Amino acid sequence: MVRWLLGIALIVAGVGHLGAQRVEFRAQVPPWFPVDADTVVVVSGVVEIALGVALVVFGAAAPWIGVVVAGFFVVIFPGNIAQFTEGRDAFGLDTDAARAVRLLFQPVLVVVALWSTGGWSWLRAAVRRGSGSSGT
């Protein structure tokens, strides 16, 4: 159930990137990022839709999808940090306190992605397998 909710949330957010919320999402792209903000918003929206669909359709059968989604949340985190440090308003986050709470929420998304898909156990097993093949 949580995996589905996360998947649906990603799909909705991805559609927002491509439509009515596009300007709001551009506020989260740091001005120092070397790619056009609108391009970043469109590409990340398409990625969010794809990840959301993957969570809903394949997530239970492929825990690595949760690892990929968690990684995506880590990759976009600098945009949230930039929004906080540069004081840019978007999505009603118009105070430092609101932007700080948003920052605290991002690690929760990482944990939810890993937990709801079995990605956490899959990742731990993969690390164990990798450390066992070191030849020692």
Give the residue among 121, 127, 120, 85 at the shortest CA–CA distance from 102: 85
The structure's pTM equals 0.86
Q: How confident is the model at residue 89 (pLDDT cuts 50, 70, 90)?
A: confident
Whether 78 maps to a domain, the answer reads yes
Whether 134 maps to a domain, the answer reads no
Q: pLDDT, tens digit, for every residue of 65-86?
A: 999 999 999 999 988 888 898 8
pLDDT given at position 133: 58
- Give the C-alpha separation, 8 to 31, whole Å: 29
Whether 90 maps to a domain, the answer reads yes
Overall number of domains in the chain: 1
Whether 51 maps to a domain, the answer reads yes
- Give the C-alpha separation, 69 to 106, whole Å: 12
- Give the C-alpha separation, 46 to 111, whole Å: 22
User: Which stretches within 36-75 are classed as H helix?
Assistant: 37-58, 64-75
Domain span holding position 36: 2-127
Whether 135 maps to a domain, the answer reads no
Whether 133 maps to a domain, the answer reads no
Distant-in-sequence, close-in-space partners of 78: CB < 8 Å, separation ≥ 6: 30
Whether 132 maps to a domain, the answer reads no
Whether 66 maps to a domain, the answer reads yes
